[in-house]
Amino acid sequence: MTIRVVLRFAIAFIVTAAMAQTPVNADLDARLKRLEAELRCLVCQNQTLADSNAPLAEDLRREVRELANTGKTDAEIKQYLVARYGDFVLYNPPLQRNTWLLWTGPFVLLAGGAAIWYAIVRRRKRGDDDNDDEPPGSGMPPDEAVARARQLIYEEP
């Protein structure tokens, strides 16, 4: 009977101790998880450090965890890895001199496409151009166009 009571207390103690422990580790784990999802595994290249099972990814996760434990900030940890592996370890390429085209390129193309589209629409509306795509006579006043069509259809050349 007493053994049971002692056991019950022991279990209760262990459970509360474990529960008291988790918040701290859970914070760190969540932080590491988020950080690892922003870092690339160099071996598999299209996987994040968090997703990869490559031995190097394991080593780098260990390294990241240790750096975090010594109080390094996320930015410092990233800097540590960039110094060794280059910007490629970052899943989000930083905005800097050699990447501005990468970041702005799609928007430039979008703006260019919009400009072309706008120009075409405007020209179509005005209808005053040498556009081959438009049907013949589309620039004429309606009466004239009808007359011309009649002429083309009914009169011998």
Partner 1 sequence: MKTWRLIVPLAVFAILLGFLWVGLSLDPREVPSPLIGKPAPSFSLATLHEPAKSLTSDDMKGQVWLLNVWASWCVSCRSEHPLLMQLAKANVVPVVGLDYKDKPDEGRAWLKENGDPYRVSIVDRDGRVGIDFGVYGVPETFVVDKQGVIRYKQIGPVTAESLERKILPLVRDLQKS
Write out the residues near partner 1 by the rule CB under 8 A.
Answer: 42-43, 45, 55-56, 59-60, 63, 82-88, 129-130
Task: For partner 1, give the closer residue by CB, 43 or 152.
Answer: 43
What is the C-alpha separation between 7 and 124, in angstroms, rounded? 87
Q: Which residues pair with 48 in a beta bridge?
A: 40
Evaluate whether 70 touches 123 at the Cβ level (below 8 Å): no
Shortest distance (Å) from residue 82 CB to partner 1: 7
Task: For partner 1, give the closer residue by CB, 80 or 137.
Answer: 80
Rg over CA atoms, the chain: 35
Q: What are the CB-based long-range contacts (under 8 Å, 24+) for 44-51?
A: 48/91
Shortest distance (Å) from residue 41 CB to partner 1: 9
Task: For partner 1, give the closer residue by CB, 29 or 105.
Answer: 105
Q: Which residues contact 63 (CB under 8 A, 6 or more apart)?
A: 80
Shortest distance (Å) from residue 135 CB to partner 1: 18
Evaluate whether 60 touches 32 at the Cβ level (below 8 Å): no
Q: What single-letter DSSP state applies at residue 133? A: T
Task: For partner 1, give the closer residue by CB, 123 or 137.
Answer: 123
Shortest distance (Å) from residue 156 CB to partner 1: 32
Task: For partner 1, give the closer residue by CB, 59 or 76.
Answer: 59
Shortest distance (Å) from residue 62 CB to partner 1: 9
